[in-house]
Amino acid sequence: MSIVIASRSDRLGGRLRNLLSGWDFAKKIDAQFAVNWPGTGHAKFIEPDSYDFFDLFDEISFRSRGDISLCSTLPHEIFLKKRLRSGAILISDAPWESIDYFKGAEKTIIYNATDRYRFSGEEDGINSISHERELFQSLTLNDKVSDCLGESQKKFPFSEAISLHIRRGDVVPILQNAGHASGDWRFNRVAKWTIAFADRYAPVQAYHAAIADHPAPKYLCIFSDDKPLRDVIADQYTDFFVDTEQTKKTANLSAVQAAFSDILMMSSTSSIICTNSSFSLFAAFIGRAEATPVMRYADPEQLIHDIDEILHDAPQKSLVIDSLISAYDKLLPNSFQYKQKLLILLLALKHPDSMEILRQISCNAGGMQVELEAAKALVSALREKRASATNKVKILRETLDVERERTAKALASLEVERMKSNQILGELEREQGRRLTKRIERVWRRVSPK
């Protein structure tokens, strides 16, 4: 019988989505199901102290189940390497094979996807979505989490409220710590982090606009890991703001329990205003709440302003700007004018004199296309500069490898010469010994009585 093991090392929303979609996958192919749940996250500067699985779910009832188990708490990368060496199959988000491919044979399948796996030939996932909700509801919550949720529901009618999820706790530190990346993958990793910031962070006015678009909510719940900002926004909606923080403090929850409680409370509301966050989207998923995405950066000037405000004169600022320039075409909104303006602003931020040059080119040529070509030329120059630096590093490494090989050969040659010298010395010592013995024998024959 095959076994499916769900494993991820990201934050809570991604882990929970991975658990449910992996469990549903295992049910479909009639396989055993287990979870690798790393005790810590992959980014120390943004993670809770612990991701204890049984801080979320009741340990006794979980271990008594026969359809799910906790197999380990190893970091995902270590767990993955060990399993792949033994022939395990890795499942990602992309569709791959039919259900029949997985049935019958004994396989170990590492399920690393967050979304539902769509088998080839499968038409829709409505039944899977409903099944995943049922699987989540079948898990017994940890007593502290359950009690906190029960107390909150007694105090507040969540079904009559809308919730606002403000994602700040990871995206801002990610940007601030981008300069601490190291190794050959540094630039690509920073580009990925910077894109994640632009995709998940939203200016405060975007949240106010989203609240205003809702038809007179009776209550408003605000969930965020940026407590000062949560309080600032809450002060503007005192007439219908609902504070859930005190209930969590009274329950004395751990950091991961408090985050899980936020998900459960959000899932009980009628609508969730959010950015691109698996945390709030998972809450909408399990509770059937309507997820309302906020307009993140309608104007690229606001994005540049926020990055500049967060980083100030930090040493990694130049690296972040370079990464945005290299990957600006991956940002939303996906429009030519937006990306063009963003690129020009980024270049102006990196090279203050380039804005005046671009303006002169634009005025003389009288067209946006020329302005864009000039911007692209600057980007190309930056990329060539980086490629040249990379090539120099490669040449230095190759030179070091050659020198290392020469040194190794020279050492081997010296070792051979040493062995030969030792052999010659040994022969000389033996020859001297033989001569000394003969001399002693001659002397002895002379002096000994006949």
Weakest-pLDDT range from 32-41, 102-111, 302-311: 302-311
Distances (CA, A) of 73 to 64, 111, 142, 286, 428: 19, 15, 18, 25, 66
Greater confidence, 321 or 261?
A: 261
Measured CA to CA, the distance from residue 244 to residue 180 in angstroms comes to: 35
Contact 274, 254 (CB under 8 A): no
Work out the percent of the chain whose per-residue pLDDT is above 90: 20
Report domain extents, the chain.
Answer: 3-140, 145-167+202-293
Measured CA to CA, the distance from residue 342 to residue 336 in angstroms comes to: 10
Greater confidence, 400 or 447?
A: 400
Dihedral pair phi/psi, residue 241, rounded to 5°: -75, 135
Greater confidence, 355 or 116?
A: 116
pTM: 0.69
To the question of domain 145-167+202-293 being in CATH 3.30.2350.10, the answer is no
State residue 306's pLDDT score.
76
State residue 184's pLDDT score.
42
State residue 366's pLDDT score.
45
Greater confidence, 172 or 183?
A: 172
Judged against a pLDDT cut of 80, whether residue 334 lies above it is answered with no
Task: Categorise residue 228: left if φ over 0, alpha if ψ from -120 to 50, beta otherwise.
Answer: alpha
pLDDT level of residue 361 (50, 70, 90 thresholds) = very low
* Overall average pLDDT of the 335-359 stretch: 59
Judged against a pLDDT cut of 50, whether residue 391 lies above it is answered with yes
Greater confidence, 306 or 370?
A: 306
Of the ranges 336-345, 362-371, 413-422, the best mean pLDDT one: 413-422
Q: Give Cα 75 to chain centroid, integer Å.
A: 13
Weakest-pLDDT range from 9-13, 39-43, 430-434: 39-43
Greater confidence, 435 or 141?
A: 141
Residues in the chain: 450
Residues sharing a CB contact under 8 Å with residue 307, sequence separation 6 or more, in sequence order: 175, 197, 320, 321, 324
Of the ranges 129-133, 322-326, 381-385, the best mean pLDDT one: 129-133
Greater confidence, 40 or 324?
A: 40
Give pLDDT tens digits for 37-78: 988 765 554 555 678 999 999 999 999 998 999 998 888 788
**Three-state SS annotation for 74-129:** CCHHHHHHHHHHCCCEEECCCCCCCHHHHCCCCCEEEECCCCCCCCCCCCCCHHHH
Indicate the average pLDDT of the chain. 79
State residue 183's pLDDT score.
45
Weakest-pLDDT range from 145-149, 246-250, 352-356, 385-389: 352-356
For 3-140, give the CATH class.
alpha beta
Task: Categorise residue 426: left if φ over 0, alpha if ψ from -120 to 50, beta otherwise.
Answer: alpha
Judged against a pLDDT cut of 50, whether residue 409 lies above it is answered with yes
State residue 344's pLDDT score.
63
Measured CA to CA, the distance from residue 273 to residue 291 in angstroms comes to: 6
Judged against a pLDDT cut of 80, whether residue 326 lies above it is answered with no
The DSSP 8-state label assigned to residue 39 in this structure reads S
Work out the percent of the chain whose per-residue pLDDT is above 70: 72
Burial (CB < 10 A; 0-12, 13-18, 19+), residue 389, is: exposed
Which residue matches tokens 């009832």?
61
pLDDT level of residue 81 (50, 70, 90 thresholds) = confident
Measured CA to CA, the distance from residue 440 to residue 378 in angstroms comes to: 92
Judged against a pLDDT cut of 80, whether residue 383 lies above it is answered with no
Weakest-pLDDT range from 179-188, 193-202, 269-278, 304-313: 179-188
State residue 374's pLDDT score.
62
The partner residues of 241 in beta bridges, in order of sequence, read 220
* Overall average pLDDT of the 414-426 stretch: 89
Greater confidence, 291 or 331?
A: 291
Measured CA to CA, the distance from residue 219 to residue 242 in angstroms comes to: 6
Judged against a pLDDT cut of 50, whether residue 362 lies above it is answered with no
State residue 365's pLDDT score.
44
Measured CA to CA, the distance from residue 192 to residue 330 in angstroms comes to: 10
Weakest-pLDDT range from 65-74, 187-196, 213-222, 424-433: 187-196
State residue 324's pLDDT score.
67
Do the two domains 3-140 and 145-167+202-293 of this chain adopt the same fold?
A: yes
- Both tokens of residue 10? 């990201």
Measured CA to CA, the distance from residue 227 to residue 217 in angstroms comes to: 22
Question: 3-state DSSP call for residue 72?
Answer: strand
Give pLDDT tens digits for 127-158: 567 888 899 999 999 999 999 999 999 888 88
